[in-house]
Amino acid sequence: MTIQAMTAQEVTMKVFNKEELFIVDVRNESDFKDWKIEGENFEHINTPYFELLDGVEEMIKEIPTHKEVLVVCAKEGSSVMVAEMLSDYGVDVFYLKGGMKAWSEHIEPVKVGDLDDGGEMYQFVRVGKGCLSYMVVSDGEAAVIDATRMTDIYLDFAISKGAKITNVFDTHLHADHISGGRTIAEKTGAAYWLPPKDATEVTFDYSPLEDGHDVVIGNTTISIAALYSPGHTIGSTSFVVGNKFLLSGDILFIDSIGRPDLAGMAEDWVGDLRETLYERYRQLSEELIVLPAHFMIIDELNEDGSVSERLGTLFTNNHGLRIENETEFRHLVTENLPPQPHAFQEIREVNMGKISPDLEQQREMEIGPNRCAVR
């Protein structure tokens, strides 16, 4: 039987559509435990490639005959070899084109809603990394928020919508992934906005995001007023778009809240985090749809693959918003932190403009899951 390639986009569609898939992951056990392809109806076995050099006969009995089978490795090569070995035993098998590196980089645009003045909001789901970025399109103009380093997806999407990117925002200085914001701004001539309290060490010019400043995109106003929202970083800033959507950055997620320690300031910033979540956000309309910069688990995806929830629902269901005792909140936030993101200090330095690693180095920096939330 012949083996076939399955692309990261095809796997993403299986995640969105809750299809079944049986994944044979041939990476090392530690890499598999740290980060794998997840889907509601996905099954996995993990057998490192080097254990299969003498053959796959023992593995055959574990592989179902009624499901699609996908072999996965880091870069592709090992999965092709194992897929060929399985095919020799009559298994109809796929390998992941580009391996986990391609999975980490794939981004899928999803429309999340219309704005009252005719504008549209799109979410860009980087399902393998858990990163979420956004584009507001209105009257021939576009704004991009929290872009990843894979900038072509945003540039091409704007062209497809007949829109010119005029403004680019980062809600904060990212530590888990390399921002594409500055690159998009340079390629389009757009203004690049950063919170000034997060930009004290950047090496490039930017437009300062400050309270009381509104930015108009076509017919849509992105309101910055009163939404300085520190806690994840000291400069974290949230946006209300069209009085309908709350872009919460890494402050508030669907099933968790932001971590305050990625600049080594957990004890100092936990109070800011609480004030943002329990005071500033409480002053907002509960009807706003929260659009975070990350998701943590696959269960947070909606039926269409998007990630969003009404703010009032999160006040009821998100455990991080229901801890009235401040001491208990401090303990939760400072004592339940997951491991810090891989190479997060170097990623911060890239986003400050201090270092300029090549593409392969950037890929290595970002490998693994996002870890921006308190558990």
Phi and psi at residue 91, in whole multiples of 5°? -80, 130
Contact 365, 178 (CB under 8 A): yes
Mode of pairing for the β-strands spanning 108-114 and 191-194? unpaired
Task: Say whether 87 sits in a helix, a strand or coil.
Answer: helix
Sheet bearing 120-126, strands edge to edge: 108-114, 120-126, 131-138, 141-145, 164-169, 191-194, 207-208
Q: Cβ neighbours of residue 208 under 8 Å, at least 6 residues apart?
A: 193, 194, 195, 196, 199
The catalytically annotated residue of 23, 73, 150, 343 is 73
Between CA 228 and CA 372, with CA 197 as vertex, the angle to 5 degrees is: 70
Q: Is 316 exposed, middle or buried (0-12, 13-18, 19+ CB in 10 A)?
A: exposed
**Dist. CA 31–CA 116, nearest whole Å:** 46
Q: Which residues pair with 240 in a beta bridge?
A: 223, 246
**Dist. CA 270–CA 333, nearest whole Å:** 7
Query: Which residue pairs from 46-50 have beta carbons closer than 8 angstroms and sit at least 24 positions apart in sequence?
Result: 49/73, 49/78, 49/81, 49/82
**Dist. CA 116–CA 114, nearest whole Å:** 7
131 is a catalytic site residue = no
- DSSP state string for 317-346: H-GGG----HHHHHHHHHHSPPPPPTTHHH
Catalytic residues: 73
